[in-house]
Amino acid sequence: MAWFRGYGTPGAIAGQQNNDWYLNVLNGAVYELLAGTWTAEGTIQTIPATAVQSTISLQSTINWAQGFLGFAPLAVGTGSEPAITSANMILQTILNPPFKWRWNRATQTFQTSTSTPTQDYAVPVTNFGWLENAYLSGQIELDPKLTLSVDSSVDRPVHIAAQLEASGQVTFRLQPVPPITPQYTVTVNYQQAAPVITSLAGTWAPVPDYLSSAYSWGFLSLMRDYFGDPRAQLTRQIFVATILGLAEGLTEQERSIFASAWLGRDRNEMIEQMTAQLGERGRGI
């Protein structure tokens, strides 16, 4: 007996034998191979998305951080700066590569054309951040690329790229070009883009409350940088250690690059970056 897993309903799997099992990781459905046919046997219960709470507001984080800064004002004027920009920088850091979070993962599917070999497929996606992985018909993993060239060869696709994004659609390019038969169902797993915090009442969603230590230390490190607090470097070290301790599936190289990027930053460079962003917000850019 062996276990297989994939994204979608199982089809023929190399090496399968009767009494093998298959798990559809998209919905927890479990199948057993009986007399050569995958037969649904039930569902493994999963935690519903509503169980992941994101209720902590930026104002709550400001209240906490002010205790480390002599209760200095962190949200001045109608723009509530530098708090708003700093919070968005930390949220984007947490949700951008290389971090892959199960609570920020989303899935989209599309089918290849059965009328003419087609390389590009425009799919309605409004929250696309970056491509994590993709599968053909639930089992054949595709190799994600940043971009792909136009191709005329027709064969089972091997590579996929999120080639273009515009007007609420992401164009996925396959290479080689899939034939009209068989028709493939392409399952794309992606990390969602970071939303924009626009007010002090805004929350840190989609980051769950139980990970609040990560963004709290990150936010405090930027505030200490902003006010010239010499303890900023120590706070950045705590932030890096916290987020890397919470992250899963990172390679040692990815961990090293992230740590170097944050711990190697010069304080003046970070202040200049924050100041430039504040200026752009003030000019409405």
Question: Tell me: the pLDDT tens digits for 131-153?
Answer: 999 999 867 899 999 999 999 99
Residue 282 has pLDDT above 60, yes or no: no
Domain boundary assignment for the chain = 3-43, 52-96+195-283, 105-192
- Tokens for 89, please give them: 């920088």
- Supply the pLDDT for residue 269: 55
- The owner of tokens 């062996």 is 2
pTM of this prediction?
A: 0.75
| pLDDT band at residue 284 using 50, 70 and 90 as cut-offs | low
Question: Tell me: the pLDDT tens digits for 179-218?
Answer: 999 999 999 999 999 999 999 999 999 999 999 999 999 9
Q: What is the DSSP string of 164-224?
A: EEETTEEEEEEESBPPSSSPPEEEEEEEEPPP---STT-B-TTS-GGGHHHHHHHHHHHHH
How far, CA to CA in Å, does 187 sit from each of 9, 108, 109, 209? 11, 6, 4, 29
Question: Tell me: the pLDDT tens digits for 43-74?
Answer: 775 444 445 688 999 999 999 999 999 999 99
Sheet containing 21-24, strands listed edge to edge, beginning at the edge strand earlier in sequence: 3-6, 21-24, 29-34, 37-43
Identify the three-state secondary structure at position 260.
helix
| pLDDT band at residue 41 using 50, 70 and 90 as cut-offs | confident
- Supply the pLDDT for residue 127: 92
Sheet containing 128-136, strands listed edge to edge, beginning at the edge strand earlier in sequence: 105-111, 185-192, 128-136, 140-145, 159-166, 169-175, 120-124
How far, CA to CA in Å, does 85 sit from each of 53, 90, 197? 23, 9, 8
Among the ranges given (31-35, 85-89, 160-164), the one the predictor scored with the smallest mean pLDDT = 31-35
Residue 254 has pLDDT above 60, yes or no: yes
| pLDDT band at residue 124 using 50, 70 and 90 as cut-offs | very high
- Supply the pLDDT for residue 273: 57
- Nearest CA to 21 out of 135, 6, 184, 136 is that of 6
Q: What is the DSSP string of 86-97?
A: HHHHHHHHHHST
Looking only at the bridges linking them, the beta strands covering 21-24 and 29-34 are antiparallel
